[in-house]
């Protein structure tokens, strides 16, 4: 299993296949294993990365979306990948936008999977701060037991107990420090609407109509910002299209990758 050294910490990534580099970034309280089945047998060089503090990667401080973007760039340099298609789920999309702001020339395409460019509202910041305080008092298990079911559409939760419990168990293993650092970094991240407005590469938006994490209003407000975009709204999906509607989501992503390759 390959690792790189980034600011004296071990960062884990995987790379499979050959061809156009496609980077997949997981979201908050997830790790790169979420992509294993989703990206199986793709005819591309698929690069997955455990963001700092999650999966097999060590926590790096001071934790921020910009720092994580630098970490992604370091992995690409290690693989001698000049340009890539980068797709991020949720917090991974925030990292993708930070990467687009810093390293625009290295992007062939950007995928915003249940993500958006807006800074946290005052209400959202207050909610994240309460979560930080809750985790400080109670640890991670009670927090992720509340968090994980809210990521899915209610009907999906009721009929997929095994998956929900598996994800809760996995998320409960992440350290208090990593989860708190992520919450603080998301709370402090800047608005990046200007990045989307001026981005040169194609942008993919995958939106869950039943998303309880990102409002449908916020999701819709971003889709006209890029010059070239593909928009897909999943009507019965919450925040986790890769689990709730995997075949459709995979088909959408594969088609976008092919389009970006053709444009390059």
Domain parsing of the chain, residue ranges: 3-263
Which of 23-32, 103-112, 234-243, 255-264 is predicted least confidently? 255-264
Per the prediction, the chain carries an average pLDDT of 96
83-109 average pLDDT score: 98
**Per-residue model confidence as pLDDT tens digits over 140-172:** 999 999 999 999 999 999 999 999 999 999 999
- Per-residue HEC secondary structure of 104-161 comes to HHHEEEEEEECCCCCCCCHHHHHHHHHHHHHHHHHCCHHHHHHHHHHCCCHHHHHHCH
Exposed e or buried b for every residue in 227-245, given b needs 16+ CB within 10 A?
Answer: eebbebebeebbbbbbbbb
CATH topology of domain 3-263: Rossmann fold (3.40.50)
pLDDT digits (tens, 9 = 90+) for 222-263: 999 999 999 999 999 999 999 999 999 999 999 999 999 998
| Percentage above 70 pLDDT, the chain | 100
Buried b (16+ CB within 10 A) or exposed e, 19-39: ebbbbbbbbbbbbbebbeebb
How wide is the angle at C-alpha 120 spanned by C-alphas 127 and 122, nearest 5°? 60
């Amino acid at each position: 299993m390959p690792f790189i050294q980034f600011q004296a910490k071990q960062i884990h990534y995987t790379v499979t296949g050959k061809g156009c580099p496609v980077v997949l970034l997981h979201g908050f309280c997830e790790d790169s294993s979420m992509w294993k089945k989703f990206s199986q047998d793709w005819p591309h060089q698929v690069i997955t990365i455990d963001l700092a503090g999650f999966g097999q990667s060590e926590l790096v401080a001071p934790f921020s979306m910009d720092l994580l973007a630098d970490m992604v760039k370091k992995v690409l340099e290690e693989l001698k990948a000049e340009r890539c298609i980068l797709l991020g789920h949720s917090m991974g999309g925030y990292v993708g936008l930070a990467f687009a702001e810093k390293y625009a020339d290295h992007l062939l395409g950007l995928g915003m999977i249940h993500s958006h460019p807006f800074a946290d509202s005052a209400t959202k910041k207050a909610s994240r701060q309460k979560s930080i305080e809750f985790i400080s008092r109670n640890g991670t298990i009670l927090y992720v037991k509340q968090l994980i079911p809210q990521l899915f559409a209610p009907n999906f939760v009721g009929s997929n107990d095994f998956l929900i419990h598996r994800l809760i168990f996995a998320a409960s293993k992440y350290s208090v420090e990593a989860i708190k650092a992520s919450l603080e970094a998301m709370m402090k991240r800047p608005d990046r609407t200007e990045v989307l407005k001026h981005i040169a590469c194609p942008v993919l938006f995958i939106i869950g109509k039943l998303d309880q994490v990102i409002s449908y209003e916020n999701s819709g407000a971003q889709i006209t910002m890029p010059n070239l975009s593909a928009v897909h709204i999943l009507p019965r999906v919450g925040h986790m299209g890769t689990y709730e509607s995997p075949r459709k989501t995979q088909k959408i992503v594969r088609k976008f990758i092919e389009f970006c390759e053709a444009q390059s």
